[in-house]
Structure 1
Amino acid sequence: MYKTLRNLAGLTLLGLLAACGTQQTQSTLTQADAQALSEAAQGDLQLTGAMLGDASSAALSAQGQVDSLDANAQTWGLPRRIHLFLRAVGVLYLPPSGSGNCAISTSPSPLVDADDDGVPANATTSYDCSYTGSGGISYNLNGSISLQDTNDNQPYSGYSVTFTNFKARVSGDNRSVERTLNGSYSIDKQDATLFKISKNYTHSVSKTVFNNTYTGSLVFNVSKTYAPDNDGNSNPWDAGTITVDKNNPGSATWTRGNNTRSLIWYTDPTLHWNRTACQNPLGRMMNFDNGAKEFVYTNPAGQTSTLRIEFSGCGQFSVTLNGQPVQP
């Protein structure tokens, strides 16, 4: 149960708040800060994985790994790309269409997806669900997710996703985690060899353990490039490099309790996405095999704290704070 809740937390800005309590402004990041921030960074990587994941009609059947989430999402008529976003934010189960206590709608219906890339020309899925899955785990879904294809007559032209008060809550065993997404991100084709990824969204988390509740949020604002290894031939999202230039870094506003910190972040070296070699469609979609992200906080006195997440193989990574290992 605890592992399931931890997976759902994805962007958990939460676990160590119990130990830290309400903090005053700190001169540098602590190990506790680093653990929570690394969870946030991993959650963003999962959403990037969902953005570049395989949403083709043949993908899941070819791999022979269709689970109940995918099968039941199809009965609701959800766009295939939505399956990946639900999984990325920790939604591990959906009841089949027609089940009580769950209402999911898609507009327009039927979907228009002329290029069969799993992203409709324009569609919004809305959720109002409260149901129980295996092991007595309770789920709640609310809000909406919208998709828009940049050019529905051209696969891999790019698309955007917008979250509007989208909330996913899982609870059981005196624990609950609720995640709320607002804002949007997109991937757009610039030319045959380059894509632009833009993110401007907020991810808020609330975790309750027995009678204690802890909250936090992370706001991302960044523009980065994705360069496919195959120079745009075939499926450009099979593998490629993701770059956030250190000289033009992304920004992130991180709030925990009464503390709000402004961070910059970049890739050093560039991240390499490789779903061809690494893809685990039913896993966390962390299909990166090398590269690193660095998040830097500079306090008012000019002291810096650097959190580094570095990949050494498919989905394998280490986390350090100022060069020292961060405990999981």
Structure 2
Amino acid sequence: MDKLRSLSSVLALGLVGLLAACGQQPTTDPLTKSDAQKLKESLVQSNKYLVAAIASPSGVVTTSRVGGLNLPSPVANVILASGLEPQSINCTASETPPKAQQQDLDNDKIPLQASYQVDCRVGDTRLKGGIVLRDKNDNDPKSGYTLDTNQYELTFNTGKSNESGLKLDLDVDVTWSNPNYAVRYNFNFEIYGSDGRFGTTYAYTATYAPDNAQTPFAGGTFNYEGTLDFRTATKWYRLSGKATNLKYSSTCKETFVSGSWRLEDTRGNTLQVVYNACDNVTVTYNGETL
């Protein structure tokens, strides 16, 4: 499971998954410290996904060459991080339309529409899924875009009794609402294996205020609030959340550079994520650093 958690940070470049409700109801039990510790990583990683999508939306459908293969950059990064031998990888991949034929009339580096499907195997390890990126208006560089994923999943020991893996879903819809942007952000994340499953899911609509209207995605500030569902092997927590002045800068592709995200359970227990600087994050549970 440690291997899965380390690979999840690489998938922050833009991959996908699903978390089912299974007919259960959220618990009214307090969020325990041990469960808060499990939630910590998912929270920190989840905002990395948003930062990566804003910083380079077209980056999820660009390719990198690994072991003689042209693979989508997020897939290439996973392969390199996993230590798998590129020469032993069997991949089926398609980019539609091909890079040279992608339309970008407003030169905002976001194509009118581009999609990438991939299915990679090496032994009993498999990575599969797809991404679609669309420009809201290819005649207006400020118009915004949508980024939709289609069931990206990384599995180890595929088809065996000890199968484990992770699923990640990231859908982002960025719409210009002069002078700011409305950002609809759907996030689902799940890790599963012999010691059970845990996952996080939420859907927020954030307000994004650019620092400079002429270069809206070079830097700006996010604010949003709503509920977050967190599942462990035995419990389903529903937490209220509020993000305050999350400062984004294109100079940092890993995290926000300032601001905070506060979560609270039904009993008043709090989990606070504070961004101190680029890739410098503090997480506390009821004031105690985790």
The correspondence for 1:131, drawn from 107, 112, 122, is 122
2:90 aligned residue: 101
User: Given the alignment of the two structures, is residue 273 of structure 1 paired with residue 260 of structure 2, yes or no?
Assistant: no
2:257 aligned residue: 289
2:110 aligned residue: 119
Give the CA deviation at 1:9. Answer: 2.9
User: Given the alignment of the two structures, is residue 9 of structure 1 paired with residue 8 of structure 2, yes or no?
Assistant: yes
Give the CA deviation at 1:308. Answer: 0.3
Deviations 1:71-104 (A, max 9, x none): 44996375xxxx4x658xx725399999851111
User: Given the alignment of the two structures, is residue 50 of structure 1 paired with residue 52 of structure 2, yes or no?
Assistant: yes
In structure 2, distance between residues paired with 1:41 and 1:148? 27
Q: SS in structure 2 opposite 1:37?
A: helix
Verify the 8 A CA contact 2:169 2:189 in the aligned structure 1: yes
Residues matched between the structures, number: 265
1:17 aligned residue: none
Q: 1:273 to 1:74 in 2, by over 3 A?
A: farther
If the length of structure 2 is used for normalisation, what is the TM-score? 0.77
Which amino acid counterpart does residue 91 of structure 2 have in structure 1? C
Deviations 1:91-147 (A, max 9, x none): 253999998511111223343333343432122211111138xxxxx8521121111
1:256 aligned residue: 232
Deviations 1:291-327 (A, max 9, x none): 10011111xxxx121100101122211110111111x
2:202 aligned residue: 220
If the length of structure 1 is used for normalisation, what is the TM-score? 0.69
**Unaligned ranges ≥5, structure 2:** 12-25
1:61 aligned residue: none
Which structure would you say has the larger RCO, counting Cα contacts within 8 Å and 6 or more residues apart? 2
Q: 1:313 to 1:74 in 2, by over 3 A?
A: farther
Q: SS in structure 2 opposite 1:9?
A: helix
Verify the 8 A CA contact 1:8 1:170 in the aligned structure 2: no
**Unaligned ranges ≥5, structure 1:** 12-23, 58-68, 133-137, 280-284
2:182 aligned residue: 196
Q: How do residues 1-328 of structure 1 correspond to structure 2 at under 5 angstroms?
A: 5-10=4-9, 27-54=29-56, 70-72=64-66, 76=70, 78=72, 83=73, 91=78, 93=80, 101-109=90-98, 110-131=101-122, 140-169=126-155, 178-182=165-169, 184-191=171-178, 193-206=179-192, 208=193, 212-230=194-212, 232-233=213-214, 235-244=215-224, 249-268=225-244, 270-276=245-251, 279=252, 285-298=253-266, 303-326=267-290
2:14 aligned residue: none
Verify the 8 A CA contact 1:228 1:239 in the aligned structure 2: yes
Which amino acid counterpart does residue 42 of structure 2 have in structure 1? A
Q: 1:259 to 1:183 in 2, by over 3 A?
A: same
- What is the RMSD computed on CA atoms of the aligned residues? 3.5
